A and B are shown apart, each in its own frame.
Chain A
Amino acid sequence: MKKIMDSPDSKSEFKLGRKLKTGARAVVTLTSFLGPALSVMGIVILYPIVEGARLSLFSYKLTRPSDVGFSWFDNYNYMISDAVFWEAMQNTFVFTGCVVGISCLVGLIMALLLQRPLIIFKFLRGIVLIPWVIPGIVIGYLFLYMFDFEIGIINNMLVQSGLIRKALPWLADRELAMVAIIIAHVWNQTPFFLLMFTAGLMSIPEEALEAAYLEGSSSWQEFRYVVFAYLKKIMVIATLLMVIRNFNNFPVIYAMTGGGPSFSTTTAVIYIYRVAFERFDIGYASAIGTIWVLILLTLSIIYTRFLKDEF
């Protein structure tokens, strides 16, 4: 069902037909359609968000049950001077930026290369999507094993092939650990971008490409002016989704480094987990979480604005 020569943004709405008037009946229909979905999300997600914001204003440590009390913005003040918090923020941005940037780029390149209608490519395309499907916890343990200093296959192969002289302490070195978790996540997420861009490439109308060809533009020009224009929107949406997902990514990092060594691979979510379940400081953990939501919200708004401006 392809639309013919459609610009990527036409809206297909209509007023509620002739049968329904706007007003009470329309509202009722609307509620019944949207209601169920919204209530499910409301119970499981919105309620805890609100509860979290509320808890962040309390001093609430499980190990001091007699000390629980309303404490205004104490937790937030504490956060500002918490060096580990800022380190976690920095780690999260660096980590997310690298993972999304690299996956997006590699996904794009591979999607372009896999365009040609060779049968083997169709088969390959299916198979290279597999890393996306594997559960995070499995990826975490798998790469933990592969990156092991002594018994990991990666060190083994690097040394044997002569690329490095001594084994690298992947997960024990601050910078290398970050590289290792980035590699694991890129491995996992590139297929998603590959899939999205492939779909996008297929939806570019023939005519646009033919026109470019007939005009005598080079491959590069065709890419830059025709293909890219169509892919931009997908890129924005896909990267937004992945940025949000990586900001909150838990299983892989937890299994591979637990946030270590020291706090060098601790992202915000890992830090929240540690504060909540190792320091039992629920109030503070909620405060970090609330700030986190606000940051992501701001980012999303900026993104979607950007989307509007582009079109």
Chain B
Amino acid sequence: MVHRKISVAASLLIAAILTIFIIWTFFPIYWMFSTSIKFALEVFNISPELFPKNPTLEHYYALDKGSIKVSVFLKNSIITGLGTVILAMFLALFAGYALSRFRFRMKKFISLGILTTQMFPLVVLLIPLYLLYKRLNLLNSYIGLILSFTSFTLPFSIWMLKGFIDSIPIELEESAIIDGCSKLQILFHIVTPLIVPGLVATMVFAFLDAWNNLLFPLMLVTRPSMKTLPPGMVLAFAGEFKHNWGGMMATSVIVSLPVVVVFVTMQKYLVQGLTAGAVKG
């Protein structure tokens, strides 16, 4: 990579900016964590302590007690998250391949149509959707949630995978066709192994979309035992009697930790993946 020399002044400036940016990024996360280890009444102090002097794990212990168990929400989030990743990957892979390789008249229209599905504020249609789900027996079910999360994340996944597939030279496939491979074989044996970083990146985003989704599980799941973490948090903490900041932050840490871990460990793939394909497509 070409590197120009930069002056000392410029270096210092850059370092300063980066430091500010890092503090800006980190402080809220730190605050979330430090609040979660403060005692219940401490969080209402007029001068909140930057470093909690009496840390406590009481909020974390409380997470698994009573009829609202955060561990149940966690389980539901994991199941629906993984389910979404699997389903979305299959569907997006096929669709992305089709949009990349096939030429057909309706292509623009379908692409735009896919983009449109991202635009609608689903808040409005919760009742018809609830009715629809009831008729299809999908309420309070994992598959119902997985379907809804998948439909939410598909547009982006399809777009990303299409980009990756675009970047693979046709020549590889053409020789396979000459050899008599079916489309399916081409897809799975040739194309997929070449876009692994991209696939990983897409899977991470799909998991994120499922994990963080609030509106769908809020409305399409009425039994608390089936709720995922985001609506579970609302249920547990936006109550009549008080704002339990400490408990809320402890739950926030639990809600965020898995996705943070996934994201940071897969970060390499994400950048690599985006570089190789989607960015160009």
- A residues adjacent to B (C-beta < 8 A): 1-3, 6, 8, 11-19, 26, 29-30, 32-34, 36-38, 40-41, 43-49, 51-52, 55, 106, 109-110, 113-117, 124-138, 141-143, 145-146, 150-153, 156, 187, 191, 195-196, 198-200, 202-203, 206, 209-210, 213, 219, 233-234, 241, 244-245, 247-248, 250-251, 268-269, 272-273, 276, 282, 285-286, 288-289, 292-293, 296-297, 300-301, 304
User: Which of the residues B29, B103, B212 comes within 8 Å of A15, measured between beta carbons?
Assistant: B103
Q: A44-B147, A135-B256, A151-B44 are in contact. Are A14 and B101 (CB under 8 A)?
A: yes
For chain B, the bracket of interface size reads 35 or more
Contacts A129-B264, A135-B256, A296-B119: A41 and B151 contacting too (C-beta < 8 A)? yes
- Tell me whether B237 is interfacial, beta carbon within 8 Å: yes
Chain A residues with Cβ below 8 Å from B276 are 1-2, 203
Say what secondary structure dominates the interface of chain B.
helix
Contacting pair B275 A37 (CB below 8 A):
no
In the complex, which residue of chain B has the Cβ closest to the Cβ of A56? B124
Check if B255 is an interface residue, CB within 8 A of chain A: yes
A interface secondary structure, majority:
helix
B123 adjacent to chain A (CB < 8 Å): yes
User: CA separation between A250 and B97, bound complex, in Å?
Assistant: 33
Least distance between B124 CB and chain A CB atoms (Å): 4
> Which 5 A-B residue pairs are closest in the complex by CB-CB distance?
A199-B274, A48-B125, A289-B124, A37-B95, A44-B151
Q: Which residue of A has the minimal Cβ distance to B233?
A: A137
Assembled-state Cα–Cα distance A219/B5 (Å): 10
A209 partner residues in chain B, CB cutoff 8 A: 1-2
On chain A, the residues within 8 Å of B115 by CB distance are 300
User: Is A293 a contact of B116 with CB atoms below 8 Å?
Assistant: yes
Which of chain A's residues have a CB closer than 8 A to the CB of B44?
Answer: 151
B positions within 8 Å CB-CB of A: 1-4, 14, 17-18, 21-22, 24-26, 28-29, 31-32, 35, 43-48, 50, 87, 90-92, 94-95, 97-104, 110, 112, 114-129, 132, 147-148, 150-152, 154-156, 158, 166-170, 173-174, 177-178, 180, 183, 194-195, 208, 211-212, 214-215, 229-230, 233-234, 237, 245, 248-249, 252, 255-256, 259-260, 263-264, 267-268, 270-271, 273-280
